Chain A
Amino acid sequence: GEDVEQSLFLSVREGDSSVINCTYTDSSSTYLYWYKQEPGAGLQLLTYIFSNMDMKQDQRLTVLLNKKDKHLSLRIADTQTGDSAIYFCAESIHDYKLSFGAGTTVTVRA
Chain B
Amino acid sequence: SQTIHQWPATLVQPVGSPLSLECTVEGTSNPNLYWYRQAAGRGLQLLFYSIGIDQISSEVPQNLSASRPQDRQFILSSKKLLLSDSGFYLCAWGQRMNEQFFGPGTRLTVL
Return the contact of A45 from the options B43, B97, B99, B104 (Cβ within 8 A): B99
CB contacts between A and B, total, < 8 Å = 52
Return the contact of B102 from the options A40, A42, A92, A95 (Cβ within 8 A): A42
Q: Which residue of the partner chain A has the closest CB to B6?
A: A42
CA–CA, A44 and B98, complex, Å: 15
Interface residues of A in 33-61 (CB under 8 A from B): 33, 35, 40-45, 48
> Cβ of A102 < 8 Å from any Cβ of B?
yes
Q: A30-B97, A33-B99, A102-B42 are in contact. List 10 more A-B contacts (CB 8 A).
A: A31-B99, A41-B104, A42-B103, A43-B90, A45-B99, A45-B102, A92-B97, A92-B98, A96-B51, A96-B98
On chain A, which size bracket covers the interface?
A: 20 to 34
CA–CA, A96 and B31, complex, Å: 11
* Residues in chain A near residue B99, CB distance under 8 A: 31, 33, 45, 48
* Residues in chain A near residue B102, CB distance under 8 A: 35, 42-45
Given A41-B105, A42-B104, A42-B105; A96-B43 close (CB under 8 Å): no
